[in-house]
Structure 1
Amino acid sequence: MIKNLIFDFGDIFINLDKPATARELEKLGITDFTPEMVEKNQAYEKGLMNTEDFVDFYYTKFPNTTKEGLIEAWNAILLDFPTHRLEFIKQLAKDKKYHLLLLSNTNDLHISWIQQNWGMELYTEFVACFEQFYLSHEMNLRKPDATIYEFVVRENDLKPSETLFIDDTKENTDSAENLGIHVWNLIPGEEDVIDLFTLKKSLF
């Protein structure tokens, strides 16, 4: 029986336009991510680079851009937060039937944008729904590395067989499933987290 629910953030609660950053960077003349750029992106997501160094890396590499333009392109992926999803997680938190955790690959620029765009009152209200609110850049870990799931399970004394992880990226759910955690690889645009207990009723 499921006792613990671990949610991803992007495309589970907040809507994303995943191609948007590449599309906006292309307008700035950045047409491809080299292996070095991918490495820097992942390091930033793990909090191993600060925002200033991260933006400086791209600006040095592409001096015809502006730092403001780079930041806007980086944040272009972030869209709206539908109210019905906030109400869903608030009700779950109120019911106290499950341990609720959030586990997100993210970075300081994205979280800062969300805090500004939503306002701190709404952001704080959302965070308060979860017993733990894990962000990759604060943990120095990222999905799909097994170590991030092992950390969450260990730190919260969770049994994988009693835990469901919900994420829109198959690579991430596959990694969690390999550790015995139940998973839902949610398909954005076709499924919605608010239908959890209908679509995954066999687990409850």
Structure 2
Amino acid sequence: MIKTLIFDFGDVFINLDKEGAMNHALSIFKLETFTEEMIAVNSLYEQGLVSTEEFLEFYLGNFPELIEEDILYAWNCILKDFPKHRLEFIKNLAKENKFKLILLSNTNTLHIDSIKNDVSFYEEFKNCFDAFYLSHEIQLRKPNADIYQFVLEENQLTPESCLFIDDTEENTLAAAKLGIHTWHINPKTEDITNLFTIKKDLF
């Protein structure tokens, strides 16, 4: 029986433009693919293991023809709108109080600061959750098993009582290995508000 719902943030609640942001970044960096060093720095930044200042210094040092505003736009342009009906969905779930609600997101200071500026109801959204875990704050990152173990232990949960929803298959596969029920949501064809229809076999 599902007692806890664990949600990703991007492309579950707030819409993302991953492809557009990637294409824009590769264009301004004049690259065909991200280098291994760039991928590593991005990952460290998501885990809060390098500061925003160090993150920006890395990119400005490697791409001296760019200015800080170029880097900030390239990094944040992935963030799109947060449909209000999804806020109402999580508010109703919180009000019903049938499930423990947890948010578990790979993110970073720049993205969260941008969301706080652009999404007027961010705090209202955050307050719907019993626990709100951002990778850069807890220094753990999906799909590493330790982040899921952390959530289970911190909240005294059993894997079989949890449903984890994420748009990245790598993340849901990692959670499933621990016995957590999962929904690999497709943001192009599915919406979180249809959770209880699509996953009705679990409820």
TM-score, normalization by structure 2: 0.98
Any stretches of 5+ residues in structure 2 without a counterpart? none
Give the counterpart letter for 2:179 in structure 1: G
Tell me the CA shift for residue 30 of structure 1.
3.7
Q: Which runs of 5+ in 1 are unaligned?
A: none
Q: How many residues align?
A: 202
Residues 111-157 of structure 1 show CA distances to partners (whole Å, capped at 9, x for unaligned) of: 000000113xx111000000000000001100000000000000000
How far apart are residue 189 of structure 1 and its match?
1.3
Query: Counterpart in 2 of 1:134?
Result: 133
Does the alignment pair 1:78 with 2:79? yes
Per-residue deviation, 1:91: 0.1
Label 1:43 to 1:30 Cα distance change in 2 as closer, same or farther (>3 A): farther
The equivalent of 1:47 in structure 2 is 48
Instruction: Give the Cα separation in 1 of the matches to 2:85 and 2:34.
Output: 35
Q: Distance in 2 between matches of 1:29 and 1:141?
A: 28
What's the offset of the Cα at 1:21?
A: 2.4
Q: Deviations over 1:4-25 (max 9, x none)?
A: 0000000000000002222222
1:48-102 Cα offsets, whole Å, 9 max, x none, are: 0111110110000000011111001100100000011000000000000000000
Question: Counterpart of 1:51 in structure 2: which amino acid?
Answer: T
Write the mapping of 1:191-202 to structure 2, written as runs, cut at 5 A. Answer: 191-202=190-201
Pairing 1:145–2:164 present: no
Q: What percent identity do the matched residue pairs reach?
A: 55
**Within the alignment, does 1:27 sit opposite 2:40 as a pair?**
no
8 Å CA contact retained: 2:26, 2:34: no
Shift of 1:26: 2.8
Say if 1:3 and 1:97, in contact at 8 Å, map to a contact too. Answer: yes
Secondary structure of the equivalent of 2:175? helix
Normalised by the size of structure 1, how large is the TM-score?
0.97
CA distance in 2, matches of 1:49, 1:20: 25
Query: Please, which moves more after superposition, 90-99 or 22-31?
Result: 22-31
Distance 2:14 2:72 in 1: 19
SS at match of 2:29: coil
Say which SS state the counterpart of residue 142 (structure 1) adopts.
coil
Distance 2:4 2:30 in 1: 42
Distance in 1, matches of 2:103 and 2:83, equals 17
- Give the match for residue 202 of structure 2: 203
Contact residue 142 and residue 148 of structure 1 kept, 8 A: yes
- Off by >2 Å, runs of 4+ in structure 1: none
Counterparts of 1:9-28 in structure 2, within 5 Å, are: 9-28=9-28
Counterpart Cα distance in 2 of 1:40 and 1:26: 16
- What displacement does 1:27 show? 3.3
2:15–2:80: 8 Å Cα contact kept in structure 1? yes
Task: Show the counterpart of 1:178.
Answer: 177
Partner of 1:4: 4
Q: Is the 8 A contact 1:6 1:164 kept in 2?
A: yes
User: Alignment RMSD, CA only?
Assistant: 0.8
Moved more, 12-21 or 97-106: 12-21
SS in 2 for 1:19: helix
C-alpha distance in 1 between matches for 2:171 and 2:86: 21
